[in-house]
Amino acid sequence: MRRLYWRVCYLLALAVAVKRSKCLRLSQEQLTNITASGNSFVFYSDDAIVTTVSASALAQESSLYLQNNSLTSIPVSFFQAANNATYIDISNNPLTKLETQSFVNMKNLQTILCTNTDITVLPNGLVSSCPLLQTVSFNQSAIRTVGSQAFVNLTVL
C-alpha cells in the first residue's frame, strides 16, 4: 500500500510539472516579423497577423520554438520578456543579426539553438549571466566575427 501511495504522489508531481511546462510553438508558421506593441508581441506572416502574445504570457513560457520561419531579426525585448525560458530554438531562419543583450540574466536558460542562419557577427554582450546555459549552437550559420565578450558570466558553459 505504501508503494502505491508513493507512485501516486510521483505521478501527481509529474502531472504538475508537465502542466507548468509551457511552450510557445510557432515553428513553420511562415513568420516574417515580430514586433513589440505595448505589453505584447505581434507575430506576422508578411502583413497578416498570425498571433499576439502578451509579455506576461511570454514570461511563463519554458520553451520557445520559432525555427523554420522567415524571420530576419528578433527584437531583444522579446528575449528579455521570455526571461524564464529554458530552451530557445530560432534555427533555420534567415536571421541577419542578434542584438547585444539578447540573452542576458535568463536564470533558467539551458539551450540556445540558432543553426542555419545568415548571422555574421556575435556581438559583445550577446549572452551573459545565464547560470544554467549548457548548449549554444550556431552550426551552419554565416558567422565571421565573435566579439571577445560575446559570452560572459556563464558558469556551466
- pLDDT tens digits for range 127-155: 999 999 999 999 999 999 999 999 999 99
**Which pLDDT tens digit goes with each residue over 96-117?**
999 999 999 999 999 999 999 9
**22-30+58-152: CATH superfamily:** Ribonuclease Inhibitor (3.80.10.10)
pLDDT digit string, tens, across residues 29-79: 999 999 999 999 999 999 999 999 999 999 999 999 999 999 999 999 999
Mean pLDDT in residue range 84-102: 97
Strand 40-45, strand 48-54: pairing: antiparallel
Q: Count of alpha carbons within 13 Å of 69, Cβ hemisphere only?
A: 25
Q: Identify the CA nearest to 66 among candidates 54, 50, 55.
A: 50
Instruction: Enumerate the β-bridge partners of residue 155.
Output: none
State pTM to two decimals: 0.85
> CB-based burial of residue 24 (10 Å sphere; 0-12 exposed, 13-18 middle, 19+ buried)?
buried
